[in-house]
Structures are given as C-alpha cells and as structure tokens.
Amino acid sequence: MSCLSFLTVVTVFCSLNNGVEAFHSIHPDLQSISARSVSNLHRTRYHFQPHRNWINDPNGPMFYNGVYHLFYQYNPKGSVWGNIVWGHSVSKDLINWKELEPALYPSKPFDKYGCWSGSVTILPGQGPVMLYTGVVDKQSNEVQCYAIPENLSDPYLTKWVKPDAFNPIAVAENGINASVFRDPTTAWRGKDGHWRILIGGKMKTRGMAFLYRSKDFVKWTRTKHPIHSAKSTGMWECPDFYPVSLKGGKGLDTSTVGNSVKHVLKNSLDITRYEYYTIGTYFWKKDKYIPDNTSEDGWGGLRYDYGNFYASKSFFDPSKNRRILWGWANESDSKEDDVKKGWAGIQAIPRTVWLDSQGRQLVQWPVEELNGLRQKQVMISSQKLKKGDYVEVKGITAAQADVEVSFSFSSLDKAEAFDPKWVNAQELCAQKGSKVQGGIGPFGLLTLASKKLEEFTPVFFRVFKAPKNHVILMCSDATRSSLKSELYKPSFGGFLDVDLAHKKLSLRSLVDHSVVESFGAGGRTNILSRVYPTLAVKENAHLFVFNNGTEKVTIEKLKAWSMKSALRN
C-alpha cells in the first residue's frame, strides 16, 4: 500500500511571517563533528539512547501491529543539536530496542531546513499518519506537515513518504508568528466525526494551544479561538492533550470524552525549559478546555518531573490499556564534552501515567517491563536510623540499580516550621540540603556515592509543619555529584501532595551511570537528575541510606536490584 486511500490533490499556499524566535542553541562549528569512538564512561545501560550522536524530543510514540515505535529528534552527524531528522527505533517491550534508519529527513520544500517535533495518529482501518513541523527557510519559519508509511505490510514501517498533495497541512496566518508555531499533537476524533489537533505557539507573551479541525485528516482549518491559552507563560512547545479516567489506572484512547473522564493539557515552556500541566474539563461541543482550580495554570503549576525532563509525549497503548509517557533528558555537561564522548541526550524510562484517586494530580510509574532487567536482589528491613546514620546497601551494582524503599517515623512533633514564603521547591532544596540537619529529615538515599563521600547524589525528603497541614519536600541534589566544577549541578526539588496520617513515605530510584530518576510516594512527585561522577563510577559507585534529622527514621523495607543492560540492536 503506497498511499493512504483518502488522498486527493489540492494546492496549498504558504503564508509566512517575519520575526524569528530561537528554538535550540546552535553551534554550527560543532554540529557535524562525529567522535571517532563513543565513550562508555557515563553512558546509560537501560535508559534509551541511540548508539551515538545527539537526540532530543521523543516524537510520535505508538504501538502498531504488535510493535512499539519510538521516533525522536536526532542529529546523525554529531552530538550537538543540528541536522535534525526523525530517528526511529522499534521494540517489543519498551526496554530492548532495535535502531533503524531515520524515518524522516529534510527532502521537500516544506521541510528543507528541518523535520521537527510532532506526533503519530493511527487512523482506524487505514494506519498511522505522522504530523510534524517542517522548517521552510533559514529564518526558522515553520509549517505543519504529514507523512505516511510507504508500505503498511512492513512490520517495522521503515520507510515513510511525504505526499505532495495537501502538504503542508497548516501554515501560520492571520498574524501568527511562523517561527513560534510548532509541534502538532496526536489527533482525536470528536463525536461529530471531525478530527482535531493542537499546535503550540504564542501571541506576545501568552502561551497558546491553537486548535485545528479536519473532516478527512488532510484539509485542516484553524478554529477562531485556541482550545486554551495562559498569560505570561511564553511559547508553548510540545503540547500534549489527552483524557484520563476518573476511576482506576487504565489508560484511555485519545478520542475518549464523557462525564467519566478529565483531560490533561501539558505544555513545554521554551523560556524555562521545563513543563507544566493542568487537569480540567474539555467541552467538546465548544472545543474549549477549562482547567480545574486545584493547581496553577502557569509556571508554578504541576509538573510531570521536577528535574531534567522536557518535550514529553504520551500515547495510548491498546495492548495493555495504559497511557505511556516519554520525556527527554538533556546533558548537564558542556557541548565540548558531548563532542568528545560522541553522544548527548537520553530518554527517561517510559512511564505509565494515570489520575490520582483525589483527582488533583497525575501519578507516574516506570513501565512494568523494566522489572525484567532486575537481578541480584538485596533487602534491608526494620532498621532504625538515628541522626547522622549512614547505612551502605551492599551486594548490588550501585551504578546500575533499581531501589525501592519505604520509610516510617513515629511522630510528627519535630517537624520544622514551614515559612509560607517558601513557594519555590527547587530553591528550598538548595537551601535545605542533605547535610543541613532538620527535624523530620533530611532522610533518603545517597546514590552514585564514592566510598568516602567525596561525591554523592542524594535523593531525600524533609517534612515541615504548616498552620493547617504538613508540607513534604522531595529533593534530588547534584551539587556534590562530581568533583568536576564546570558541570551544571543543580539541586532539584518538588513538593509532595500525600497524606502523612500513617507517617510513611516511599521512594524508588533508578540509577543508571549518569542519571538518577526518582519517584516519590508511588510516583506523585518525580525528579530526574543527570550527573557525571569522577570517582563514583562503575564498580567504584556506592549506595547508602541516610538520616540527618533529629527524629529517628525506620527503613521499613528496602529492596535493591542490580540491573541488566537493555539490548540494543
């Protein structure tokens, strides 16, 4: 099948605006330099990354005919951003991957200067269609394009074509700045039979999710009003819009609407390089999304991840009725280091995502298939930690591990007073580090630690007492992660919305050489950190459990596993 059956010929005229806005840092002198050999020192073993060179945004993930597909922004010529194509890898289990030739590369007038981020929609009875942003000139003016598989009988869908008919499907017009007009979402089909997509953009400083509609998936019309916008948020990149069930953790097809669902709108903020999401109601007859008032609709809003996590993309997996989330984690070292090591960028572990039973936030957890890499388990249970105690977790490969631990404490009386001015969790984590004594906490894990603790990356909790409730802070602090001073070593943090009636907190950390990806309280607050230790590498890495609070903390149960390396090709 060389072409989807709904195609007919039409001419589309492009109308582009002047005024260009940056998308990525550009290093023309470095973007086509490929290292002779790839350094394995900090390379991950079970997080996804291609065999070499630069990657960024996950694009168009899907499950089709028994195969998971992950596309991603990829530089085939070097390890800094540039020469962007759609890389393509396939998997049977989301963990072990086969890398294929790029699926999209610049080849048409409408994408001559880049095939940027987008999505895949599987049309019933017809197959998958890619929607992506094409760059038409050196000024980064952007249009929206589509591509289809050359041969649907190919199990891996290795080749994709861009029909001239209808391409591009959407252009910036009526005052829209074409250099801030990108990243089409997965489409959904309304009860009226019309398809809908969102495209990220902005008007002045107002973030926008432009809405386009189509009867046939090739002729698209922008609606008079965006589905939603928010003042002073800047450019909305990589929007994502999908339903979540009010009851249970099952995922939903993107076209699901009704009284039993809420909707999630996620935006990646170009200015801050982090994301936020809201949960709300989608009024499909009016094509309007209204967030609930349970979280901020802006920079201080809820985040999938409070660390190094950006440009995320979700998809519905019909094989297990779940929604799966991918996110890109950039490097924290220099561009020159990236060139030397021959690679840059990883994808976070794919996460199952669902709505918390309270309906106020999302919950995320690593896909169950990851557990198949676990081996060589060790356990600690019912061990008390007084102030200043450090207990080493021995018997596993600490540089490549999966750790689950539950903590308890007998009283909340020693919780420190919470200052209402502490609205920024990341700043508070920097102020209240793992070595700063508290009442309840800091307690947690020291990951990628050297034997004498010259280097370590702590992931920990602190509990504060506010006038009406307790405030829980979760931190992942890279400031002591490496003896190298020139690295970006932030202290990441987020607040944790959980009931402390049972005086228990849980933590799971995935440690993989240069990444520590952590899930607090069953995935309600999550933080991914990129770190590059110089001493705590490979067999010289250690793992500790610690408490620096005056309140004793009990390790109720700790399970830790050495992790096998995932298969590549």
pLDDT per position as a tens digit, 130-144: 999 999 999 999 999
The answer to whether 302 and 293 have CB atoms below 8 angstroms apart is no
- Structural domains present in the chain: 54-366 (2.115.10.20), 376-563 (2.60.120.560)
Quote the DSSP letter at residue 67.
E
* Residue 25 confidence class, pLDDT cut points 50, 70, 90: confident
Identify the band that residue 24 occupies on the pLDDT scale cut at 50, 70 and 90. Answer: confident
pLDDT of residue 23: 58
CB-hemisphere CA count at 13 Å for 190? Answer: 18
Residue in this structure with the two tokens 């009990």, named with its chain if needed: 554
> Rounded mean pLDDT of 207-217?
98
pLDDT of residue 569: 82
Task: Give the confidence band of 118 by pLDDT, cuts at 50, 70, 90.
Answer: very high
Return all residues near 30 (Cβ < 8 A) that are at least 6 apart: 78, 80, 82, 335, 336, 339
The answer to whether residue 57 is catalytic is yes
Tokens matching residue 282: 């989608």
Mean per-residue pLDDT for 496-515?
Answer: 97
User: CB–CB of 256/282 below 8 Å?
Assistant: no
302 phi, psi to nearest 5 deg: -65, 145
Whether 15 shows a pLDDT value over 80: the answer reads: no
pLDDT in tens, 142-166: 999 999 999 999 999 999 999 999 9
The answer on pLDDT for 57 being more than 50 is: yes
pLDDT band at 175 (very low <50, low <70, confident <90, very high): confident
Burial class (CB within 10 angstroms; exposed 0-12, middle 13-18, buried 19+) of 231: exposed
Q: What pLDDT shows up at residue 132?
A: 98
Output the CA–CA distances (angstroms, integers) from residue 373 to 93, 307, 401, in the order listed.
Answer: 12, 24, 10
Q: Name the active-site residue from 57, 270, 297, 497.
A: 57
311: left (phi over 0), alpha (psi -120 to 50) or beta: left
Other CB atoms closer than 10 Å to residue 295's CB: what's the count? Answer: 19
SS3 of 140-199: the string is CCEEEEEEEECCCCCCCCCCEECCCCCCCCEECCCCCCCCCEECCCCCEECCCCCEEEEE
pLDDT higher than 50, residue 19: no
State the pLDDT at residue 12: 30
What's the rounded Cα separation, in Å, for the pair 14 and 171? 6
So what's the pLDDT on residue 532? 98
Q: What percent of the chain has pLDDT over 90?
A: 93
Mean pLDDT score, 18-25: 53
Range of weakest confidence among 15-29, 52-66, 98-112, 278-292: 15-29
Distance CA 7, CA 209 (A): 27
Q: Average the pLDDT over 72-99 and give the result.
A: 97
Residue 235 clears pLDDT 90, i.e. is over it: yes
Find the mean pLDDT for residues 392-402: 98
What is the mean predicted confidence (pLDDT) over 46-73? Answer: 98
Give the least confident one: 11-15, 214-218, 262-266: 11-15
Q: Which of 46-50, 271-275, 304-308, 386-390 is least confident? A: 271-275
For the stretch 457-477, pLDDT in tens is 999 999 999 999 999 999 999
**Which secondary structure element, helix H or strand E, spans residue 127, and what is its range?**
strand 127-135
Mean pLDDT computed over every residue of the chain: 94
Percent of the chain at pLDDT exceeding 70: 96
